[in-house]
Amino acid sequence: MIKKVGILLGVLVLAIVAVSMVSAENSANDDNTLIVGFDAEFPPYGYKADNGSYTGFDLDLAQEVCKRNNWTFKAQPIDWDAKDSELSSGTIDCIWNGFSITDERKDKYTWSKPYIDNKQVIVVKSDSGINKLADLKAKHVETQKDSSALSALQGDNKTIADTFTDLVQIADYNTAFNDLQSGACDAVAMDYNTAKFQVKEHGADQYKILDEQITSEEYGIGFKLGNDALKDKVQTTLDEMQKDGTTAKLAEKYADYGVPESLISE
């Protein structure tokens, strides 16, 4: 009997601990906390700095929004191809990280107003001999899983991708640039400002961005479909930041990567 009681007590303790852990996890996801889902390898919008902290233009914007609303800010790195399940499960409150408002995504989320003009481009080695999109015929091209570049090359711009030998989906653009450097691929399709960042980091003399773009688009913040209440609070604060010059000031930190000139003004 004593043994059975001990087992039951052990099970009860484990159950209490499990409930406590769930409560602790969910306690951060309340009305006073904004959990921002982002790709930690998508500079200059969201990435890990040399000191190990998360930084980037979008995270700076989100932090300021939280400060003005007396919210706790939480930057939550996610696998980009798992962003929908993260949002629908409530693990994150929004997707805020160079998130393109594409035709395929328009009806899947509740969107903020666009705040960045962007385009999809091709990055190659400077000495590759590739100077225009037509030169990508029979080449090996890489892009990130579930990215806007992939969406464009599988959708309206499929005729471009049809000329490639293959279009390989990779987890992140650091991997793509390593493949580009090693010769495992001939080109990388990606967002313009992220391309500028990566080219600068890996060597502007070694890589170049083709002048011809794949497509143009706009960035927005994606909330769970129907979550207009949170979207409206964030949008009102962003509008105030735009008007008082805070947004432009935050963008100055990323001037070398083209963020300021691509801001959408009121």
Position 264 scores a pLDDT of 60
* pLDDT tens track for 105-126: 999 999 999 998 889 999 999 9
Q: Which of 209, 181, 180, 216 is nearest to 194 (CA)?
A: 209
Position 29 scores a pLDDT of 57
Confidence tier at 14 by pLDDT (50, 70, 90): very low
* pLDDT tens track for 96-107: 999 999 888 999
Which of 65-69, 206-210, 262-266 shows the lowest mean pLDDT across its residues? 262-266
Average pLDDT over residues 169-189: 95
Average pLDDT over residues 242-256: 89
Whether the bond into 260 is cis, omega within 30 of 0: no
DSSP letters for 121-181: EEEEETTS---SGGGGTT-EEEEETT-HHHHHHHTTTHHHHTTSSEEEEES-HHHHHHHHH
Position 27 scores a pLDDT of 37
For residue 134, pLDDT beyond 60:
yes
